Copies of this chain bind each other. A is one copy, B any other.
Amino acid sequence: MGMTSRIEAAISSAVAVGQGQGAVPPRLASALDYATAPGGARIRPTILTSVALACGDDRPALTDAGAAALEMIHCASLVHDDLPCFDDADVRRGKPSVHRAYSEPLAVLTGDSLIVLAFETLARQSSQAPDRVAQMILTLAQRTGMPGGICAGQGWESEAEIDLSAYHQAKTGALFIAATQMGAVAAGQESEPWFELGARIGEAFQVADDLRDALYDAETLGKPVGQDDLHGRPNAVSLLGVQGAISRLKDILGGAIASIPSCPGEAQLAAMVRTYAERLTPVAPTVSATRSNV
């Protein structure tokens, strides 16, 4: 099974547990699937799985649970970020956002349920390796909630004064750090040496996202553009200009590759980051992107 199929199987199997059987509220069960499939590029679980493979992947069930859990947290964040009280987005991944397709109450509950299901999916694997699972749950929680996860990142947008470094690391970096660290822990490695790779990939995605937000049209992106300007959010393109931001993106990705800890699959992992770097870097303004969702 290729990595893409493996990750899709892990996500759909985890979501199926949440959907249950018998006496379950059918619209909420349906919304769990709608919010998670078809997905975007599955970049976070791909990084997690790639790191686990580079480290030997000796407990593949843990890797799969980690990949599914991380992607469910990401999807939950998209569903809640799209709500009317945040971005009020009508479209996500080229189809109506969850609150548009199902209702606002069901969108809140879909996000809540996916967050819970992420932790449940990991806890179900505890008998495989209790110490690794506990560490994965802790890492995922720290990168999701307060004070340093994506909830904190979103929370900064409700402040009059933003700590930009804390904001970017929490808002975009956190789940990439979770990806590299959870992948390493799933394969029995220490998490700390994998922090920098995740943080740098996160920075790169933030800059790439800023470029896309500034350069592409809504049809290409599959979601509204100009959101940063609209919501007064800080943006690398407004700080550095388009060419400056592209140059910064390349520097960050070079640093990411240099930071990869010594491991059996180090070379393949570096190749994967290079591949993503090419896909991430816009060729020219308004040219269609090869990937429309991250």
Contacts and interface: CB of A to CB of B under 8 A. Distances in A.
Interface of A: 18-21, 23-29, 32, 76, 80, 83, 85-86, 102-106, 108-109, 111-113, 115-117, 119-120, 123-124, 126-127, 130-131, 133-134, 137-138, 141-142, 144-149, 151-152, 154-159, 163, 165-166
Contacts of A146: 18-20, 24, 28-29, 32, 113, 116-117
Given A24-B147, A116-B145, A126-B137, 5 more contacts: A29-B146, A113-B151, A116-B141, A130-B131, A130-B134
Contacts of A165: 23
Contact of A159 (B18, B20, B26, B116): B26
Contacts of A119: 119, 137, 141
A171 B25 CA distance: 12
Contact of A130 (B126, B148, B159): B126
Q: 5 nearest interchain CB pairs?
A: A20-B147, A116-B145, A126-B134, A28-B155, A130-B130
Nearest to A27: B158
Identical subunits present: 2
Contact of A108 (B85, B137, B148): B85
A144 B116 contact: yes
A131 B126 contact: yes
A157 to B, nearest CB: 7
A149 B113 CA distance: 9
Contacts of A145: 18, 112-113, 115-117, 120
A154 B109 contact: yes
12 contacts: A18-B146, A24-B147, A80-B108, A102-B158, A106-B155, A112-B115, A113-B151, A115-B116, A116-B145, A119-B119, A120-B145, A123-B137
Nearest to A131: B130
B108 A147 contact: no
Contact of A166 (B24, B29, B123, B144): B24
A131 B130 CA distance: 7
Contacts of A113: 145-146, 151-152, 155
A110 to B, nearest CB: 9
A199 to B, nearest CB: 15
A163 to B, nearest CB: 5
Contacts of A102: 158
